[in-house]
Structure 1
Amino acid sequence: MRLSFAAALLTLSSLAAAQTPSGPRLLVLSKSEHTLAIVNPATLKVEARIPSGDDPHEVAASSDGRTAYISNYGFGQFHTITVVDLLAAKQSRAIDLTPLRGPHGLFFADGKLWFTAEVNKVIGRYDPASGKVDFILGTGQNRTHMLYVFPGTRRIVTANVNSGTLLILDRVDMAAAPPPPPGAMPTPPPAPPGYPQGAILPPGGDWFPVVVPVGSRGEGFDVSPDGKEAWVANAGDGTVSIVDLAAKKVSATLNTSTKSANRLKFTPDGKHVLISMLSQPDLVVLDTATHKEIKRIPIGRGAAGVLMQPDGARAYVSCTPDSYVAVIDLNSLEVVGRIAAGNPDGLAWAVIP
């Protein structure tokens, strides 16, 4: 009997381990159910549903695949980011951002979580190691919504919906002083632009902003894989603004007839851009070389979040009014599957160890 009981426990433990999500996984937020779903991309089946906190809008995974962070937005009503342990498939805690309110856009880079807080018009940074918000930077723009952080965190780009702008922030550090000639006194390092000679920059350098006007209600945006351009979908006038990130100005404006645009994403190879629209039945596909529309993919009654599979095989689109995520084959540009997810919005990719 003891051996049978031990064998039964071993079997149950093995089943539990087998059911714990691991490997590449799609993370899907449900606004109506207040959950985060962990989806197996091979089977398109939901393996776990975890409480997400109030009004979940965006989700980002840590680089090691162990943790997911969820912004509890509420149009400024809420002030938390919910933390999910992906290995245990359970909510671990909530980060209280008070006095920052309305967290929305999330981006995990260089071991830290970057976020926007709309009410306060700021970008913040949370350090998981210390458990504290260790950096806050004002934007001076209305509804700082989504953000993109470059590798090395030397450049940040944000879309500011109500201001109709794209903000480019570049970090500048104090330049190193040239070595003095033998026997000479050392000279102070050259000051960065805009600083008097001998000025000392704050720890971590300083940030230099450039505000680029785009179209009406520019919200969904993405940076091209080569880092040279940002494309902004303007929900108010149905255009796309292409911003040259070196020149820091709009290089082209495309009339794409995409009013109510919500998200815009580059395919991993940079050849196409996909645009979702909240109140339109199609996903718009643009050719990045010609700037021309090549297809409209029927997906439902409207859509929000768009996520690219890292290998470029598929895209996932949150069809919020229809309560499913549409799976798009990026070779055929056709819908090849659906994932049941109540009122889905934010999406992320995680490789769970």
Structure 2
Amino acid sequence: MDEGRLLVVCKADCTLQVLDLESGTSAGTVLASGIAPHEVVATDDGRLAYLPVYSDAPVGAPGSDGRRIDIVDLMTLERSGGFPLDFPSRPHQPGLLGDHLIVSTELDESVTVIDRRTLRVIGRWPTGGAESHTFAISVDRSLVVTANVRPGSVSIIDVPTGRLRGVVPIAEKVNRVCLDPSGRLAYTADQGSPRIAVVDTEEVERMAWIALPAIGFGTAVTADGSHLVVALRTTSEIAVVDLESGEVVHRIATPDHPQAIVLHPDGVRAYSACEVEDCVVEVDIRSGRLLRRMETGRRPDGIAWSPRPAPDDRPA
């Protein structure tokens, strides 16, 4: 299996750092066009990345309002272009839906849809809530769910129509969201209590809770749907939850402040950027062990796995 690469957004440096997972070392960095990117996504072939320029402020706080998305060539590790959005947006998380790029545009309370060939906005899906900071896409690409931070809610959007199915109140404040492989269950972390909300995207009145040992943050469900991996920022741990029993089966100590959770395609390893100590950690989900620490630039946050691109066979 291709070990691939890890794309790491270093907020304080305004850079995208590319880590080679075979060697655990940096393959290079790319300076963003503005202050400051937070999240990134790579194309399926590992050749391009999309890097929204967000803001110099945390979500909901006064500061700059980014409205540009950089395009990074992952073959040359250089910015190869980009495009502006023509409305105040603070574009944050990007994702891919076939020929379309989608990005959370929280000032607009929407998810914006962009044609990747023309780089033109072709739709703006309303989320029905402020601070729609992050989202998850279902495996079958029929559903998008957003985490609306300070309204403390989750929005459910139907992809074929772009219509808002509903908004589910969760808590005073939530952050980050993921979906199980079926797209039926969404998971988001309550930022005021140590618990994860489990939202049934079809029957929202069936919401449930999973207790955690500390307040959670980033989450991801394993490809077989058996376990939830959760970053516990306040205790500097990554927890692994057995979803059948709802019990925490592993607590893995990490450097300070793990952020998002990204899973390797091998189904065994997970990654998180540790913002305070400027590194990314790799953990074994099955054994509950910290495998290695990889140094990064300053204040790493959003991360994405990418395949290593095949050699460029175009004529010189």
1:85 matched to 2:41: no
Distance 2:16 2:98 in 1: 24
Contact 1:216 1:237 in 2 (8 A): no
- Rg larger in structure: 1
Structure 2, gaps ≥5 residues long: 58-63, 311-316
Distance 1:258 1:141 in 2: 26
Per-residue CA distance 1:127-150 (angstroms, 9 max, x = gap): 111121111122220100111233
Per-residue CA distance 1:210-250 (angstroms, 9 max, x = gap): 11111331212110122221111111222111111221334
Per-residue CA distance 1:245-282 (angstroms, 9 max, x = gap): 221334311231432x3211112222211111333221
Q: How many residues align?
A: 299
Change in 2 beyond 3 A, CA 1:24/1:215: same
CA RMSD of aligned residues (A): 1.9
Alignment of 1:55-94 (within 5 A): 55-74=36-55, 75=57, 77-94=65-82
Q: 2:116 aligns with which of 122, 128, 150?
A: 128
Contact 1:109 1:151 in 2 (8 A): no
Letter in 2 for 1:59: V
Distance 1:144 1:206 in 2: 15
Equivalent position SS for 2:172 = coil
Give the Å deviation of 1:313.
Answer: 2.5
Letter in 2 for 1:167: S
Give the Å deviation of 1:206.
Answer: 5.6
Structure 1, gaps ≥5 residues long: 1-21, 173-204
Change in 2 beyond 3 A, CA 1:335/1:270: same
Equivalent position SS for 1:142 = coil
Letter in 2 for 1:169: I
Give the Å deviation of 1:23.
Answer: 7.4
Residue 125 of structure 2 is matched in structure 1 by 137
Letter in 2 for 1:244: D
Residue 346 of structure 1 is matched in structure 2 by 302
Equivalent position SS for 1:249 = helix
Distance 2:300 2:234 in 1: 15
Q: Taking structure 1 as the reference length, what is the TM-score of the superposition?
A: 0.80
Residue 144 of structure 2 is matched in structure 1 by 156
More helix by share: 1
Change in 2 beyond 3 A, CA 1:81/1:250: farther
Q: 1:95 aligns with which of 83, 95, 102?
A: 83
1:168 matched to 2:124: no
Equivalent position SS for 1:119 = helix
Distance 2:99 2:191 in 1: 33
Equivalent position SS for 1:57 = coil
Change in 2 beyond 3 A, CA 1:240/1:286: same
Residue 224 of structure 1 is matched in structure 2 by 180
Residue 45 of structure 1 is matched in structure 2 by 25
Residue 197 of structure 1 is matched in structure 2 by none
Q: Taking structure 2 as the reference length, what is the TM-score of the superposition?
A: 0.89
Residue 207 of structure 1 is matched in structure 2 by 163
Q: 2:7 aligns with which of 10, 17, 27?
A: 27
Contact 2:126 2:163 in 1 (8 A): no
Give aligned-pair identity as a percent.
26
Residue 264 of structure 1 is matched in structure 2 by 219
Per-residue CA distance 1:137-172 (angstroms, 9 max, x = gap): 222201001112335643221111111111112256
Distance 1:257 1:81 in 2: 37
